[in-house]
Amino acid sequence: MPKLWNETIEAHRAAVRDATLDTTAALVAEHGPASVTMSKIAERTGIGRATLYKYFPDVETILTAWHERQIGAHLDHLAQIREHAANPLEAVLEAYAFIAYEHDAGDPLAAMLHRGEHVAEAQRRLRGFVRDLLAEGARAGEVRGDVAPDELAGYCLHALTAAAGLPSKAAVQRLVTVTMAGLRGPA
């Protein structure tokens, strides 16, 4: 596997791992999860089957690792937006709504992956992240002060999952506007 060889063993391992996750995601997208086998993943990644088994015991573990990587990327994306946007709260909620919009909740693979423990952990992190933003907003007088930030975080994260069923990006933006009006409270 010369093309995957990198400067150090660690970097090499990370590269094999990443390549395996990319390959598996591509195979699932092309043929559906049921037809993906360890042999096909090894072949397409360009590694031996025995090598693949040193990294992952089965396809399900690879899919879970891929999903964890996707969720991590989403959380990093939201953290970036928080740091750079002029209006971090609204920008983060909009970005979250677009993630929900692009995510196919009806996909059986998504339904399976979402039952994993790693998802519950990611949801806790996301909720904490949004709660902190809302607490900042309340101190700045931009968010209502009569409801605790944690309750408001639950409200807006649930409201924004409605984006998954919306027909257009304009509709997603309207959903964010309506949700923000709830966070601001009566004028």
Catalog residues that contact its own copies under the rule CB under 8 A.
144, 146-147, 151-152, 154-162, 165-166, 171, 174-175, 177-187
Contact 35, 24 (CB under 8 A): no
- Minimal distance in Å, beta carbon 57 to its own copies? 25
Cβ-based nearer residue to its own copies, 125 or 184: 184
Cβ-based nearer residue to its own copies, 31 or 158: 158
| Lookup: tokens for 115 | 């039952």
Judged on CB neighbours under 10 Å (0-12, 13-18, 19+), 120 is exposed
Torsional sign, CA 65, 66, 72, 75: negative
- Minimal distance in Å, beta carbon 88 to its own copies? 20
- d(Cα 143, Cα 133) in Å, to the nearest integer? 10
SS (H, E, C) 65-101: HHHHHHHHHHHHHHHHHHHHCCCHHHHHHHHHHHHHH
Cβ-based nearer residue to its own copies, 16 or 149: 149
Nearest Cα neighbor of 146 from 92, 176, 183, 177 is 183
- Minimal distance in Å, beta carbon 186 to its own copies? 6
Cβ-based nearer residue to its own copies, 31 or 174: 174
- Minimal distance in Å, beta carbon 60 to its own copies? 19
- Minimal distance in Å, beta carbon 96 to its own copies? 13
Cβ-based nearer residue to its own copies, 25 or 162: 162
